[in-house]
Amino acid sequence: MLNPRYLVHTYPDLTALNQAAATYWVEQATQAIAQRAAFHVALTGGSTPQPLYRLLATPEVANKLDWNCVHIYIGDERYVPHDHPDSNYGMVKACMLDQIAIPPENLHPIPTQYEQAHDAAADYAEVLSSIASKTEQVPELDLIMLGMGEDGHTASLFPGTDILQVTDKTVAAVYVEKLASWRVSMTYPTLNRAKQVMVLVSGEGKADILAHILQKDSETLYPIQSVSPAGEMHWFLDQAAAGKLDQSSS
Ligand code: 6PG
């Protein structure tokens, strides 16, 4: 049985997944703009969301939104310059941001010009503090997009890394041994304060771990299982990723 705290949506392929994800994204943006005149969204890196970003930038979809009210953040970043092929912000910019009429001051990339990734994390925490409540001091994003790796990582919260224990910072730097590289990532306090979280997962390589993670009684073993937002957590899956889920009693 699937864990009832998750809202799981399965689509035949990556194209259908991204179309549904785009509809959901636009709905969330429209609602936030109608209620608060602003939509604060954190985008994810990885390959799965790239068709979604391209779709959001098409005139048919982009014209549905007032981009003056949309604020773009990045959930995690590989610690390389934005014009490096590995940069998440560089990818998002090429797929989407360069194609839409969004004011530059609404773009909030994770800085990567510091010598130390820790300084970049502290700088980004300061940026995010502008959308934090005065009392809690944790940023409250309207929507956080996430992906999931085959090892159960999400954002740059990798198994066995120190960042999993961070509770006093909203953004932190982490050295990922198996990638031999530094990353900067939103931490659990930020992910768990989100109004909505959407996770995009595709491909049969993730079917086994996904079946484990989404089941009702699975223990918290993988980093993504500790994401428990204030609002809903929607999983957008393609059939290949969902192939091993027991959906009979979901
Ligand atoms: C990154 C991420 C990471 C990603 C997953 C899934 O910087 O790589 O933000 O958490 O979302 O690794 O990536 P794919 O979509 O490529 O499988």
Q: What mean pLDDT do residues 84-90 have?
A: 98
Percent of the chain clearing pLDDT 90 (strictly above): 91
Is the CB–ligand 1 distance for residue 47 below 6 Å?
Answer: yes
Is the CB–ligand 1 distance for residue 44 below 6 Å?
Answer: yes
DSSP per-residue codes, 200-220: EE-SGGGHHHHHHHHBTT--S
pLDDT for 147 equals 98
pLDDT for 2 equals 87
- What ranges do the domains of the chain cover? 6-249
Q: What is the pLDDT of residues 14-31, one digit of tens each?
A: 999 999 999 999 999 999
Q: How far apart are CA 155 and CA 44, in angstroms?
A: 7
- What is the distance in A from the centroid of ligand 1 to the CA of 35? 31
Is the CB–ligand 1 distance for residue 202 below 6 Å?
Answer: no
Judge whether residue 250 has pLDDT over 70.
no
- Of all protein residues, the one whose alpha carbon is nearest to atom 7 of ligand 1 is 45
Q: pLDDT class for 151, splitting at 50, 70, 90?
A: very high
Is the CB–ligand 1 distance for residue 48 below 6 Å?
Answer: yes
Specify burial of residue 132 (Cβ count, 10 A radius: 0-12, 13-18, 19+).
middle
Q: What is the pLDDT of residues 188-241, one digit of tens each?
A: 999 999 999 999 999 999 999 999 999 878 777 899 999 999 899 999 999 999
Q: Which fold has domain 6-249?
A: Rossmann fold (3.40.50)
Is the CB–ligand 1 distance for residue 90 below 6 Å?
Answer: no
Judge whether residue 153 has pLDDT over 50.
yes
pLDDT for 247 equals 64
